[in-house]
Amino acid sequence: HGGAIPPEISNNLKQLNTKVTTLGNQVTELQQTVQTVSCSSDPCQNGGTCLNLLNSYHCLCPSSWAGANCASDVNECQTFEGTLQGCQNGATCVNSPGTFICQCSPEWSGNLCTVRYDDCRNGGQDLCVHGLCIDSDRVVSGQPKYQCICESGWEAPAGNPACVSDVDECNLPTKPCSSNPPVPCYNTQGSFYCGACPAGWQGNGYSCQDVDECLTNNGGCSTTPMVQCMNTMGSFHCGPCPPGYEGDGRTCTQSNICSSNNGGCHPLAICSSNPGSAFPLCTCPQGYTGNGYGPSGCTQISNICETNNPCVNGHCTSTTSGYICNCNPGWQGIHCDQNINECLSNPCQNGGTCTDSVNGFTCTCTAQWTGPFCQTQQQGTKKLVGVKQNFNKCHKKRDWR
């Protein structure tokens, strides 16, 4: 063996080698072309899922990326605007590659600004102390905001929303305790209380009502004898003891009205109590007369008729109050000392002149007339001297008619 390779064969080999190399390059090229249209080249970016298709592929992109290979950012601020997936409650949306950020308004928090700050729960403590916490919308970011509705009896001091100041109810313009009658007010932390109603009043101290003492046992006023009980606001009083009794109205004792000043009777009168009357019985002693009351209540029965008869022309009769004069005919006056003028009735007729006398009168007639009253014309021509006549039984004018 050892013979040289014929040149024709050597040339064929060379040509074959070239062809194979060219074919290999073409295969590699072909492989590369095939790879770029399949998932084996891992074409989907940003976590996209690759699906192999015939001579092709498809990327399933996450929501925040888009494009054939999930290489372009989704602007969520635009796509989610006005939807529940976007920023809520007035937040400002800021887009960034692969995501977006919500810059919340002060009251809100959370990724999409959907969580309200409840400033009453923050800190886990009772922010209002003696009050009900009401959450408010934050105005400045990071600054909690709330208000306190204080329980009665508490208030929030200036500059502090918490209800930690006691209300001094006793110094309020409207007094909480009774003012008529006045009742003391006592302030306490968170409250107050009123003192008791004063005597004569009932109630809780916030208000007091008058006690009508007269409703029970006549208020303690006397019932034998009965005395009127008079109720007043906060008290009562007893009327006066009835006549014939003395005392303060609670106790009335039968008064011995005669014990002082002889009961108002005349000093000489006999005083005796008169049940049921404010006045005693006053009886003048023997020989005296009168109603017995007062300094002139008894007067001595007069014996003046015997000792010094005051009746000048009449008969004296003693009476309980003095004496009476029964005048003799022709006399009048209390003491029968006035002579009755019988001429006053002008009894003399025909121009006769009347002359008064005791219990009678005398007519002095003119020459032509005669008779006791000058009523008879003279017979003949003789002049008659006037005749004096006494008319003892006729001293009253009407007796002549």
Specify the residue, 95 or 318, whose C-beta has the smaller distance to Ca ion.
95
Specify the residue, 85 or 259, whose C-beta has the smaller distance to Ca ion.
85
Contact between residue 128 and residue 134 where contact means Cβ atoms under 8 Å apart: no
Q: Measured from the CB of residue 154, what is the shortest distance to Ca ion in angstroms?
A: 8
- 187 belongs to the binding site for Ca ion (CB under 5 A): yes
Q: How far apart are CA 319 and CA 279, in angstroms?
A: 27
Q: How far apart are CA 113 and CA 223, in angstroms?
A: 88
Specify the residue, 188 or 389, whose C-beta has the smaller distance to Ca ion.
188
Q: Measured from the CB of residue 77, what is the shortest distance to Ca ion in angstroms?
A: 8
Specify the residue, 69 or 366, whose C-beta has the smaller distance to Ca ion.
69
- 246 belongs to the binding site for Ca ion (CB under 5 A): no
- 350 belongs to the binding site for Ca ion (CB under 5 A): no
CA distances from 249 to 119, 166, 254, 257 (A): 73, 52, 12, 17
User: Binder to Ca ion among 151, 210, 337, 356 (CB under 5 A)?
Assistant: 210
Of the candidate spans 20-28, 110-118, 190-198, 393-401, the one that interacts with Ca ion by CB under 5 A turns out to be 190-198
Residue 190 tokens, joined: 């968170």
Specify the residue, 153 or 243, whose C-beta has the smaller distance to Ca ion.
153
Nearest to 199 by CA among 228, 169, 236, 230: 236
Of the candidate spans 49-57, 118-126, 158-166, 289-297, the one that interacts with Ca ion by CB under 5 A turns out to be 158-166
Q: Measured from the CB of residue 16, what is the shortest distance to Ca ion in angstroms?
A: 58
# chain residues binding Ca ion, by CB under 5 A: 9
Contact between residue 154 and residue 130 where contact means Cβ atoms under 8 Å apart: yes
Encode 62-79: b = buried (16+ Cβ within 10 Å), e = exposed.
eebbbeebbeebbebbee
55-114: contacts with Ca ion (CB under 5 A): 73, 95, 100
Q: Measured from the CB of residue 105, what is the shortest distance to Ca ion in angstroms?
A: 21
Q: How far apart are CA 70 and CA 1, in angstroms?
A: 67
Alpha helices in 239-326 (DSSP H): 304-307
> Is 93 in a helix, a strand, or coil?
strand
Q: Measured from the CB of residue 65, what is the shortest distance to Ca ion in angstroms?
A: 8
Q: How far apart are CA 118 and CA 109, in angstroms?
A: 11
Specify the residue, 237 or 395, whose C-beta has the smaller distance to Ca ion.
237
Of the candidate spans 42-50, 52-60, 107-115, 189-197, the one that interacts with Ca ion by CB under 5 A turns out to be 189-197
Phi-psi region of 368 (alpha: psi -120 to 50; beta: other; left: phi over 0): alpha
Q: How many helices (H) and strands (E) does the chain have?
A: 3, 32
Q: Measured from the CB of residue 80, what is the shortest distance to Ca ion in angstroms?
A: 10
Contact between residue 310 and residue 300 where contact means Cβ atoms under 8 Å apart: no
- 166 belongs to the binding site for Ca ion (CB under 5 A): yes
- 337 belongs to the binding site for Ca ion (CB under 5 A): no
Q: Name the residues that contact Ca ion, by CB under 5 A.
A: 73, 95, 100, 166, 187, 192, 210, 231, 236
